Amino acid sequence: MVSRAPRKFSRMLRVNELVREVLGDELERLADPRLELVTVMSVDVSPDLRNATVYYGALGRDDPSIAVALKSATPRLRKAISREARLKYLPDLKFKEDPSLETGQRVEEILRKIRESEQ
């Protein structure tokens, strides 16, 4: 018997990427100024497709109004997912700030200081 790689895993990667692209495109269309510099970094859709955690970043902004704006835009974002993606269920969206942007900025700052001190 030939063993195959689990398809569910690769399918979930494709679903996550599809939802990330749809949400990113829809955020660009929104006229809300609080969401101008917001980027969808990644999406983690649950295996049952009922829930999705959306990790976002806002370069140079640590503003609690972003979370409020995302929450108010959730119905429109879910509608975009239903329009663009053929999924068995329309996932509920939960938004979390992705710390990787901040971490990357701190690393860049440390590297810049090291380079300056070497000169």
Residue 3's pLDDT is what? 53
Q: What is the pLDDT of residues 5-59, one digit of tens each?
A: 555 568 889 999 999 999 999 999 998 888 888 999 999 999 999 999 999 988 7
User: Greater confidence, 56 or 119?
Assistant: 56
Number of domains in the chain: 1
Residue 37 falls inside a structural domain? yes
In the numeric block, the tokens 């992705």 are attached to: 98
pTM given for the model: 0.76
Residue 1 predicted with pLDDT over 70: no
Average pLDDT, the chain: 87
Which CATH number covers residue 103? Answer: 3.30.300.20
Give dist(CA 118, CA 36) in Å, integer. 38
| Distance in angstroms between the alpha carbons of the first and the last residue of the chain | 63
Alpha helices of 30-99 — where are they, by DSSP H?
A: 64-84
Residue 58's pLDDT is what? 83
Residue 1 falls inside a structural domain? no
Task: Find the domain containing 70 and state its range.
Answer: 7-118
Q: What is the largest CA-CA distance in the chain?
A: 63
